[in-house]
Each structure stands twice: as structure tokens, then as C-alpha cells.
Amino acid sequence: MAREIRRLVVGPLATNCYLLKSGEELAVIDPGGDAETILAVAKELGGSVKYVIDTHGHIDHIAANREVVEATGAELLIHELDGRLLAQPDGNLSSLMGMRLTSPEPDRLLNEGDTVRVGEDELTVLHTPGHTPGGICLLAAGYAFTGDTLFVDSIGRVDFPGGSERQIMASLARLQAVLGKDTEIYPGHGEPGTFGRALLVNPFLGSLVVG
């Protein structure tokens, strides 16, 4: 079955929102704003939106949850440790931007090792705390959505509430153990690229390289 991954840069913080289509099913990953654009692209791709998946609970990744879920009937998924942030403007950082944004309650709370099937593609949840307590990456055959845990050339901030430099470095080490150099990474901000490219240009990975 054909697979397509479409990247949209949404919201005031230039967040990457991804639409994954496999067969006749779609998942919207990190709908951080611009709901009308997301829905228009979903319609263009065709098929049904099965899931909205948040890699973590910050406003720039959840701002369009409500509109997309209500328009499509999709199930909303997030890690159990970030689920509470959806209803907490202080926790999801919307209050810092002068808003009091809340999201619908999640339909499913994710944990380490869970799988999410979209068409013929299977996404495996890797719990990668550090940017937030419930940050996740979604690993599939040949590609991964890495949220704000790993960008090609940097990592997510650790100075927000719940952030931890120790945890994010441990999460990066876990990613290196499972990602091949040819794995295409789709980060929460910035351009996608291979993990091999990240190993060359990302200073936070330099100390992790073995051999």
C-alpha cells in the first residue's frame, strides 16, 4: 500500500504538523495550529482521519486538536504523563502566550511500547521524556516522528516546567540505539533529514556516538 507523509508548518512557532496516509487511513501528528489548512490537506489526500497524535502537550503541538477532532471524529492520543496538560493552560504553556487554550480529553493514553496502526503502517511508541515528562517519538519502518525530543540539528528546550536535561540526554541515547543512519526523522521543528545527517550536524549527539 502506498504511504505518503505530508509536512505542514503551522502556528506562530513554526511547528511541523505531519499527515501520515497509509492506504485509506490518515493520522495527523502535532496539529499545532492552522486547522483549516490541516483539514484541507487531509481532504486532498483522501481517506479517513483515524487518529490525532500529540508527541507532547505544549500549545504549539496541540492548538488545533479540537478543530481537527471535531471535524473528523478522529481519536486523540497522547502519552499518559502529558495527558493532563491538555486541560491545563499553565501546563501546556498557552498562558505564556496570553491564551487559555484547552484541548478535548484524550481518547487513549499512550505508554512505552504501544503501537498505533495507520493503514498498513505501524507506529511504535518510544517514551522520550526531557522536553516534557510525557514526550514521545513514534517509530516505524524506515522513519520516525521525533517531536521536540530530537531535531536534525538540535533538541527541544529543557527549561520549561517538567523539562530535564538528564532525561533528554538519556532519551537521545535510547533513540541512537534504535535508529539507523538511513532512518528519516520528522522532527517537531525544522527540516526533516536522516538520522545519519543528524549525527553529523547535531552537537547534542556528538557525545553519544560510539565507534
Q: What pLDDT, on a 0 to 100 scale, did the predictor assign at position 94? A: 83
Q: Rounded distance, CA 175 to CA 171, Å? A: 6
Q: What pLDDT, on a 0 to 100 scale, did the predictor assign at position 207? A: 55
Q: What is the pLDDT of residues 55-66, one digit of tens each?
A: 999 999 999 999
Query: 203, 194, 200, 198: which is closest to 152 by C-alpha?
Result: 198
Ranges of residues in the chain whose predicted pLDDT is under 50: 209-211
Q: Rounded distance, CA 192 to CA 198, Å? A: 10
Q: Identify the structural domains of the chain with CATH numbers, from first to last.
A: 3-208 (3.60.15.10)
Q: What pLDDT, on a 0 to 100 scale, did the predictor assign at position 82? A: 96
Q: What pLDDT, on a 0 to 100 scale, did the predictor assign at position 211? A: 34
Which helix H or strand E contains 165, and what residues bound it? helix 165-178
User: Which pTM does this prediction carry?
Assistant: 0.95
